[in-house]
Amino acid sequence: MAGKNVLTITEENFEQEVINSEVPVLLDFWATWCAPCRMIAPTIESISDELTGKIKVGKVNVDEQPNLASAFRVMSIPTVTLTRGKTLLMQSIGVKPKEALKREIEAKI
C-alpha cells in the first residue's frame, strides 16, 4: 500500500530508517480496515513526492506493529507524525486537506 517514495516501517527497520535518518521522517499510522486511512493515503504519497529530499515518508500498519503505535501513543488512526531522531516535531490525527497537512509539515522542517 506504499507509493514509490513511501517506506514500510517495522520494528526491525525503525532505528535505521527513522531514528538514524538524516532528514525528518513523516510516519503515517494506518490499518487496512480504516476507511479514513485509505482516504489520506494519496495525500501522504503526494506530499512524499513533493518533499522528496526534505523528508522521508513511512507507513506503519498499527495491526502489524502494535509496539510502534504504542510508543507514539497512537489512540486513533490515521495519525501522522513528523520526527527528527527521537524528537516528535508534530502530530496530526484524522484526515486533513493536503495543503493544510503540508503546511504543518513545512513549518517544522
- From first to last of the 109 residues of the chain, give the pLDDT tens digit: 566 789 999 999 999 999 999 999 999 999 999 999 999 999 999 999 999 999 999 999 999 999 999 999 999 999 999 999 999 999 999 999 999 999 999 999 9
Q: Number of structural domains, the chain?
A: 1
pLDDT attached to residue 5: 87
* Residue-number span of the structural domain to which 73 is assigned: 6-104
**Is 81 among the catalytic positions?**
no
Choice among 37, 51, 60, 77 that is catalytic? 37
Residue 81 lies in a domain: yes
Query: Does residue 109 form part of some domain?
Result: no
- CATH number, domain of 70, equals 3.40.30.10
Residue 43: inside a domain: yes
- Which of 6, 34, 62, 82 is catalytic? The answer is 34
Residue 37 annotated as catalytic = yes
Q: What is the pTM of this model?
A: 0.95
Please report whether residue 75 resides in a domain.
yes
CB 36, CB 93: distance < 8 Å: no
**Residue 109: all three cell numbers together:** 522542517
Do the domain assignments include residue 68? yes
